[in-house]
Structure 1
């Protein structure tokens, strides 16, 4: 197997506290992130050959960031240097990216300025056997959506396995198109689709009955997961596996379990519950990395979903966007939270 190449925007997460104490202290935490960079970092930590493609300006901050990725043993040779700025987002510590309080500052970033024909895909995809991106990329603007399709066509022509995370960010879809107008044209190239039943409804048009939420029963969610997964496989014949995550907040706590539909069967992970966590950012990306890790190493399907779920739940106990938990430490972290 060759490299796993993750494609997306490198971001900095700025974390002012909601009480405003940062104004007096003149300081707040800054984390390196971005959905696909989070995947690349986790894979590299777990010793999967991991490469990352983004666009950054050619300045000292960008060079420091690329050096940081290099130190994590991520192959940064494909990174494209252009434009004038790195994208930012602001989020209070402990909050979720789906939270209404997230503030994006990504307009006119180097990545958002990418256009078709800019990337030499022959060169970039050399030695790559897995290509990963997320639905955040085409949410930025029409040109970046077209760059995504350009990448997927090039990867498909080379028989490279392709995965997508259907993460929906309402605040990013501002260029006159709805996800349903863009995503089906990209998902048709994908072998592995990860998300949840509501993202599949919003982005791919696969309906979720209202009673699913009203009942709020695990068995109902699992049944809908199988229905939605089968619908994705029917709509997109190239797709072989569909993963759905279920994460519910209970005060400061979390209930978490996932499913993987593959080889005509629905596999269900163990369920985990915690009363308190450190942060939610990057957990889904860690799950995606866990899926890629499992498939990359040709694990049994149940092992794949179990590893990915455990890795994602363990990620909830770290504050940084990047996963910092080694694969050999994951089990010990999550075991106390496993439901019987």
Structure 2
């Protein structure tokens, strides 16, 4: 197996408490993250050859961050050094990135300054068998969207498997284009598409029944997941796998399940529920990593879906952006949730 290359922006999550105690105590927790880095971290923990491509300024902070990634088994040799700052975002503890309270401080970061022609894809894609990115990347600017397309063309020419997570971040799409004007041109290169029904509608123009949210029934969502997956594969013939996640708040807890559609068949995961969770950030990234983990090794489709779902669910109880679960931890969680 070649390298699994994850391309995206490394971010620091600053995590103030809701009542302002951090000001009185002079303590402001932070975590190292970024959607694609979270995927890279999980894959490295699970023993796959995981590499990470981002852009960082050349300074002491970056040196420490890269050492931190190296210690986690991530190949950082492809990181590009340019620009002057690392991207930040602020999010209160316990909230997720769809929350209106998220504050981004990413303008003029090293990654946001990328432009076509800056990265030598011939060198970068040597020994790479899988390329992963997310819809967060092209949300940053037209230039970064063009860099993504440049990368996807190069990867596709080399028959590298390409996956995307359709993360939708409304606060990032601020350069005059809607996601549906940008994403189809990138998704056409992808073999594996992961998201949810609403992100697929927003980004790919796949229609949903107007009353599906009001119906709010699991059977309805599962049936629509299959219809949407079929529509995506018809619209984007290179796509072989479509996965959808369903995570619904239940008070302070969560109801969670997923679907996987491939080769004309839909698979449904085991359901997971919890009355209380710790951290929502990075759960979807962990699911994406689980998909890559299973698909890249040609695991049984039902088993890989259940593994990915358990990995995502387990991340909800870990206070950080990236998971710390190993394979045995996830298999144990699966066993504990057998019905």
After TM superposition, the score normalised by the length of structure 2 is 0.99
**Corresponding position: 1:116 with 2:124:** no
Residue 270 of structure 1: aligned partner: 270
Aligned residue in 2 for 1:229: 229
- DSSP 3-state at the match of 2:211: helix
Q: Note the C-alpha offset of 1:332.
A: 2.7
Single out whichever of 326-335 and 315-324 deviates more from structure 2: 326-335
**Contact 1:52–1:79 (8 Å) recurs in 2:** yes
Per the alignment, residue 190 of structure 2 pairs with 190
Distance in 2 (CA, whole Å) between partners of 1:140 and 1:226 is 30
Q: Which string of whole-angstrom CA distances, capped at 9 and with x for unpartnered residues, describes residues 188-224 of structure 1?
A: 0000000001000000000111221111110000011
Cα distance in structure 2, aligned partners of 1:26 and 1:209: 49
1:235-246 matches, cutoff 5 A: 235-246=235-246
- What is the alpha-carbon distance in structure 2 between the residues aligned to residue 106 and residue 11 of structure 1? 8
- How far apart in 2 are the matches of 1:208 and 1:89? 32
Which residue of structure 1 aligns with residue 159 of structure 2? 159
Please list, as runs of the form range in 1=range in 2, the aligned pairs for 1:128-139 lying within 5 A after superposition.
128-139=128-139
Task: Give the SS at the match of 1:147.
Answer: helix
8 Å contact from structure 2 (residues 306, 334) kept in 1: no
CA separation of 1:46 and 1:173: change in aligned 2, threshold 3 A: same
Q: Describe how 1:14-163 pairs up with structure 2 within 5 A.
A: 14-163=14-163
Shift in CA distance, 309/337, structure 1 to aligned 2, threshold 3 Å: same
Equivalent residues of 1:212, 1:220 under 8 A apart: yes
- Residue 293 (structure 1) aligns with: 293
Q: Distance in 1 between matches of 2:73 and 2:120?
A: 23
Tell me if the contact between 2:307 and 2:334 (Cα under 8 Å) persists in the aligned partners: no
1:246-261 matches, cutoff 5 A: 246-261=246-261
Q: Which runs of 4+ in 1 moved over 2 A?
A: 331-338
Deviation at 1:322, TM superposition (A): 1.1
Deviation at 1:44, TM superposition (A): 0.1
SS in 2 for 1:200: helix
- Contact 1:274 / 1:337 at 8 angstroms: preserved in 2? no
Deviates further, 209-218 or 225-234: 209-218
Say if 1:52 and 1:35 are closer, same or farther in 2 by CA, change over 3 A: same
Map of 2:322 onto structure 1: 322
Aligned residue in 1 for 2:6 = 6
Q: Is the 8 A contact 1:13 1:90 kept in 2?
A: yes
What are structure 2's unaligned runs of at least 5 residues? none
CA distance in 2, matches of 1:119, 1:305: 34
User: Shift in Å at residue 335 of structure 1?
Assistant: 4.7
Q: 8 Å contact 1:56–1:62 — kept in the other structure?
A: yes
The offset of 1:337, in angstroms, is 5.1
SS of residue matched to 1:38: helix
Following the alignment from structure 1 to structure 2, what is the Cα–Cα distance between the partners of residues 266 and 180?
Answer: 25
SS of aligned partner of 2:153: helix
Cα RMSD over matched residues? 0.8
Question: Are the counterparts in 2 of residues 314 and 334 from structure 1 also a CA contact under 8 Å?
Answer: no
The 2-side partners of 1:304 and 1:332 are apart by 15
Q: 1:280-323, CA deviations, whole angstroms, 9 ceiling, x for partnerless residues?
A: 00000000000000011110111111111011001111011011
Deviations 1:51-89 (A, max 9, x none): 000000000001100110011110001000000000000
**Count of residue correspondences:** 339
